[in-house]
Structure 1
């Protein structure tokens, strides 16, 4: 008798669970992926720069500074940027963080730069020599005071 009761309870629980999984959306349910009305559409560059400053990182380079950085990387090897300018800028700012976090430890800075700067054709980095050059370009163009 007890097993019949347990089986009935389990079947009832399964039926309830399956009923809640209907494929038709409820009319009053909001899609999970939609942002709330109060959520900002995107973070402004001012907000990002303020967050970077709070973390001790330089602001995003603009204009001539940005161009000099990207040109410097492309002069080393066009595959470093590989058409992803914004990604390269982000990595350059991160590289400045390495300089700040490992002051005077060039070996560590180059090692971490090589790990950070990968591309589809160089998934393990571009080698120690190019990593040192990337580090130098990043520091000169984005964070010369670090």
Structure 2
């Protein structure tokens, strides 16, 4: 990590101000805070793969409540659960669905007992071309259950 960033508290966020490591388009944003000084660091995932070392990203993800990427069997079960709800949720983009679920875990860590907020954030996070405003409360509730069952189980 750059020495000029020592002492800063890192908060992972997206351009939509939802806690996450990667936004829906794959961009990485990190808000750094130290006293009254605030910085936003943008690390394009494809343009500069070495922008942040993987161990730094993993540490930030863990602090934000984002679990590691699931193993192939868990991933397959999660994708099957989403497809059973509505195939449009995955829409052929399994990696994006997994990333959205991992990011949802961050929200679940922040507000574990606020079901209404988690359903709302799920509805904002899981979008598709046919559902640009989300899938609605009933479907978002089912998606959240799948996320909590397969990606970040409630303990």
Whether these two folds match at TM > 0.5 is yes
Gaps of at least 5 residues in structure 1 are 1-34
Pick from 110, 118, 132 the counterpart of residue 119 of structure 2: 110
Q: Which runs of 4+ in 1 moved over 3 A?
A: 39-44, 46-51
Structure ID, larger Rg: 1
In terms of fraction of residues, the more helix-rich structure is 1
1:49 Cα deviation (Å)? 3.6
Moved more, 48-57 or 133-142: 48-57
CA-based RMSD: 2.3
Equivalent residue number for residue 121 of structure 1: 130
1:79 aligns with 2:88: yes
Q: Find the partner of 1:93 among 102, 106, 109.
A: 102
Please identify which structure carries the higher strand content.
2
- Aligned length in residues: 109
Q: Is 1:49–1:60's contact at 8 Å kept on the other side of the alignment?
A: no
In 2 relative to 1, CA 101–42 (structure 1 residues): closer, same or farther, beyond 3 Å?
A: closer
After the TM superposition, which residues 37-56 of structure 1 pair with which residues of structure 2 at under 5 Å, given as runs? 40=50, 48-56=57-65
Partner of 1:130: 139
Name the TM-score, length of structure 2 as normaliser: 0.63
Q: RCO (CA 8 Å, sep 6+): is it higher in 1 or 2?
A: 1
Provide TM-score, normalisation by structure 1: 0.66
